[in-house]
Amino acid sequence: MDSSDNEQVRLLGKWASPFSNRIDLALKLKGVPYKYSEEDLANKSVDLLKYNPVHKKVPVFVHNGNSIAESLVILEYIDEAWNNNNNHPFLPKDPYHRALARFWCKTLDDKILPAIWNACWSDEKGREKAVEEALEALKILQDELKEKKFFGGDTIGLVDIAANFIGYWVSILQEIAGLELLTIEKFPKLYKWSQEYINHPVIKEGLPPRDELFAFFKASAKK
């Protein structure tokens, strides 16, 4: 598979979106060059509508003219398409641990991310309950981490990539919301993981700048 021409690998995304960022991280981990297009969701491009007619959302990944949408689907595709020479596999080989990784990715998207997002954007009335659910969600995630350095073991795996929101976005959003969700006191293991994560040499380069992300969400909070 000739992937040396970066015109053939494209990512349509939004810089502030953790879902879009997952794909940046994955491509950087695999060392795949790509062309990035920033999408304006208020003014969707012809390409976005062409490559993701079903959901019309980002991220959208295009490889040799073939488009794929939905971040978790894209991540698995990238892992399978660039797997020669044991090039940083995101998933283990054995079926049970693969199933476990997929389960945690889905649980992140279906349960954990929404709980934290709701807590950070909740109004006075719903705040207490939303925060309780967010803390419960973080506990579940920490229980899964156990004593591992990353969810993938010694190296960054699929769950770590999918958990970029937890590793990076949560600290910014909770500060804006004036909440203490992921802290070293409340979740020491998960906090430690987040520090390993954002200081990982490849991940560090792939995450959007903190001050810009902070300003972006702070502006959204004011509306």
Partner 1 sequence: MADEVVLLNFWSSPFGLRARISLAEKGIKYEHKEEDLLGNNKSTLLLEMNPVHKQIPVLIHNGKPVCESLNIVEYIDQVWSDTSPLLPSDPYQRAQARFWADYVDKKVFPAQKKLCFATKEEKESAEKEFLDAFKLLEEQLGDKDYFGGDNFGFVDIAFVPFCSFFKNYETVGSFKMEEEFPKICAWAKRCMQKESVSKSLPDSQKVSELFSEIRKKFGVE
Residues binding partner 1 (CB under 8 A)? 54, 63, 66, 68-70, 72-74, 76-77, 80-81, 95-96, 98-99, 102-103, 106-107, 111, 140
14 or 102, CB closer to partner 1?
102
Residue 49 CA to residue 47 CA, distance in Å, equals: 5
3-state secondary structure 86-151: HCCCCCCCCHHHHHHHHHHHHHHHHHHHHHHHHHHHCCHHHHHHHHHHHHHHHHHHHHHHCCCCEC
Q: How far is the CB of 162 from partner 1 (least distance, A)?
A: 14
Question: Coil, strand, or helix at residue 68?
Answer: strand
Q: How far is the CB of 46 from partner 1 (least distance, A)?
A: 20
Q: How far is the CB of 197 from partner 1 (least distance, A)?
A: 22
Contact 25, 161 (CB under 8 A): yes
Residue 186: which H helix or E strand, with range?
A: none
DSSP label of 220: H
Give me the amino acid identity at 109.
D
60 or 213, CB closer to partner 1?
60
72 or 198, CB closer to partner 1?
72
Q: How far is the CB of 71 from partner 1 (least distance, A)?
A: 11
107 or 118, CB closer to partner 1?
107
65 or 201, CB closer to partner 1?
65
Contact 88, 30 (CB under 8 A): yes
Q: How far is the CB of 194 from partner 1 (least distance, A)?
A: 20
